[in-house]
Structure 1
């Protein structure tokens, strides 16, 4: 599904209960949403890409992950290493704080556990963007306000 996002605002909109509050100015303006599942974890994904000479190139992906096996930051890291087919021993990550939640960040990816069973994963093209841009996107993601008009205050 293609998502219409105002490129002038550089706000990424809402995705599965979270507001993506900051996008770097050079992130592509072709945004698409996807839903998938892998190893009993559901993914809600928004991807930004841009047209290049030989097709399209992905600049940014934001995943909201939901699944019982995501109960700690260590389990999230292990899950993502397997999902992205990375060798955990070679994955250069350091700690960072996303509000009250501890997370891990590298040159191209940041992730944190919002609560047991709910996590966010942000991947940015390291050839075009800096780790500071990645951190700015990550810390700009917040829980979307609930709608009290919906039954149970659903998002």
Structure 2
């Protein structure tokens, strides 16, 4: 996957900010391979839905004082081009003090009206989280959170929650 396709992938999942490629040679790209998605910034992505895409790329960005380390899975779309299936973000920043602050931060980042953003609770181990409309997030500890987006046109909430539960802090 080329850098332009990677940039487009990030924009397609709602990020309004250009990514800064990770590593000295640009985005790390590879195949999703198997059921897992590998290690990402101290977390292991233990399960990736088969239809999320075979190509993946890593990016590092910063917005609002919060650093993002992101991995995007994409694949060929019917009619040409690429379609993002899954994006996992590890977020680090002082603004992420509790779940309410994380929700407020993500609502602003994704330009979602917090008053109309309907989310359901879920437990990610000992960390409470929220999910809805293809997004799931939880606060691992103050200053450290994980969010993910799974294309809601192709995947339901059960697949979203299964994918979220499979993202675990590396031991």
**Which consecutive segments of 4 or more residues in structure 1 shift more than 3 A?**
none
CA deviations on 1:31-84 (whole Å, 9 max, x unpaired) are: 000000001000000000111223111110000000000010000000000000
Q: SS of the residue aligned with 1:75?
A: helix
Q: SS of the residue aligned with 2:100?
A: helix
> What CA RMSD, in Å, does the superposition of the two structures yield over aligned residues?
1.0
Q: SS of the residue aligned with 1:91?
A: coil
| Structure 1 counterpart of 2:144 | 118
| Structure 2 counterpart of 1:71 | 97
Residues 6 and 78 of structure 1: is their aligned pair in 2 closer, same or farther, counting only changes over 3 Å?
A: closer
Tell me the matched-pair count: 144
TM-score under structure 2 length normalisation: 0.82
Structure 2: runs of 5 or more not aligned: 1-26
TM-score under structure 1 length normalisation: 0.90
- Separation in 1, partners of 2:129, 2:147: 10
| Structure 2 counterpart of 1:17 | 42
CA contact 1:5–1:13 (8 Å) conserved in 2: no
Structure 1: runs of 5 or more not aligned: 146-155
Asked if residue 134 in structure 1 is aligned to residue 149 in structure 2, the reply is no
